[in-house]
Amino acid sequence: MSTGSADAKRVTTHTLQEMKSGGVPIAMLTAYDYSLARLVDAAGIDVILVGDSASNVMAGHETTLPITLDQMIYHAGAVVRGCQRALIVVDLPFGTYQGNTKGALNSAIRIMKESGAHAVKLEGGREVIGSVERILTAGIPVMGHLGLTPQSIYKFGTYVVRAKEEMEAQRLREDAKLLEEAGCFALVLEKIPARLAEEVAKSVSIPVIGIGAGGGVDGQVLVLHDMLGINKEFNPRFLRRYADLHTVISDAVGGYVRDVRSKDFPSAKEQY
Ligand code: KIV
């Protein structure tokens, strides 16, 4: 079977396992469209998550709950077309995997078949183990997600740090083990105390990627629009901004409007 030259350098779940073993931190970002995914991939990211945060940053919804499977597949297909190297993981959206293992398998198969992505991610521990196991029977790699799980926002009622109390921390430790034993290839830990995240990362053999979970884990993930500074309103402590695209884009658009109004644009050189 020919794998093609681009495939030769492709990051795989195996690569991530080797990175964990070798102590090389894994860099992961979200992306939802062709143009930005292409840039992110070319800049050397290891994993691109087509997150259901698309519901917030792309569609303007307040939560991640409304995004549909068809919409996730649309975003994932665009990202896949823009990437040559990164491992592409796609979130199973709310309502497509909980409480119905056959439905979970069908959702995951649709993502893989229709988008060309490489793995799926889902939120939760013991309550979704049946779905994780069933998806894995089809040979689809699964990434777990514990801690703050935004699809359960109406259960939590708030986006504050999770697992600060011992009972919840213990449940999280057990769920991480269950996900590892079920066969997940990696785990995202969102917004939990750094000490707990480090302990979990040391206790499981699979890579643990943190967001708001400190530096003691095996890698980091951020939402692309947040780290590029497109959203000014979202200011959690864990977010480091690497650019101020809000200002760059606002200034560029403002300049264009001014030039159109003053008829400075187009100039003689910019017409036929
Ligand atoms: O949807 C998303 O962007 C995520 C990350 C926050 C991990 O799940």
Model confidence pLDDT, tens digit, residues 161-219? 999 999 999 999 999 999 999 999 999 999 999 999 999 999 999 999 999 999 999 99
Nearest to residue 127, comparing CAs of 48, 195, 182, 207? 182
Decide: 188 in ligand 1 pocket, CB within 6 A.
Answer: yes
Specify the ligand 1 atom closest to the Cα of 54.
Answer: 1
**Bridge partners of 142?**
120
**Bridge partners of 119?**
89
Distance from CA of residue 189 to its chain's centroid?
11
The confidence band for 239, taking pLDDT boundaries of 50, 70 and 90, is: very high
Residue with tokens 């102590």: 23
Separation of alpha carbons 28 and 17, rounded Å: 14
Decide: 223 in ligand 1 pocket, CB within 6 A.
Answer: yes
Separation of alpha carbons 66 and 177, rounded Å: 30
Residue-wise pLDDT for 13-35, tens only, equals: 999 999 999 999 999 999 999 99
Decide: 213 in ligand 1 pocket, CB within 6 A.
Answer: no
Predicted model pTM: 0.96
Decide: 149 in ligand 1 pocket, CB within 6 A.
Answer: no
Separation of alpha carbons 216 and 213, rounded Å: 8
How many CA atoms does the CB half-sphere of 1 hold within 13 Å?
A: 3
> How many Å lie between the centroid of ligand 1 and the Cα of residue 18?
23
Give me the torsion for CA of 268, 269, 270, 272, rounded to 10°: 80
Residue 181 burial by Cβ neighbours in a 10 Å radius (0-12, 13-18, 19+): exposed
> How many Å lie between the centroid of ligand 1 and the Cα of residue 261?
41
Query: Could you say which of 123, 180, 190, 198 is catalytic?
Result: 190
> How many Å lie between the centroid of ligand 1 and the Cα of residue 156?
17
Nearest to residue 211, comparing CAs of 231, 229, 191? 191
Domain topology for 13-241: TIM Barrel (3.20.20)
Taking the domains of the chain in order of start, what are their residue ranges? 13-241
**Whether 54 contacts 67, CB under 8 Å:** yes
**Tokens standing for residue 78:** 């665009």
